[in-house]
């Protein structure tokens, strides 16, 4: 019983932590910024690669996607 209560307490603490991260990321998005907690770096890189495919040949991004 004690172990079950501790596991539940830990799960709730993790949930609170993730909700705080989500809240902070949403606040950044509202201010016009993109938070890493909202979009992970791998997804962002894949999205930038897709954007590059649709740019004219003379255009390029400031950062490299490799």
For 28-66, write each residue's pLDDT tens digit: 888 887 776 777 778 878 887 887 777 777 666 665 656
For the chain, the structural domain boundaries read 2-54
Q: What pLDDT does residue 66 have? A: 60
Helix, coil or strand: residue 9: helix
> What pTM was computed for the model?
0.52
Q: What pLDDT does residue 49 have? A: 80
Q: What pLDDT does residue 56 have? A: 75
Residue 20 C-beta-side C-alpha neighbours within 13 Å: 6
């Amino acid at each position: 019983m004690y172990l079950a209560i501790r596991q539940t307490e830990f799960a709730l603490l993790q949930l609170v932590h993730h909700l705080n991260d989500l809240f902070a990321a949403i606040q950044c998005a509202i201010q016009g910024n993109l938070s890493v907690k909202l979009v992970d770096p791998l997804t962002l890189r894949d999205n930038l690669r897709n954007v590059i495919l649709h740019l004219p040949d003379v255009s390029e991004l400031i950062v490299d996607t490799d």
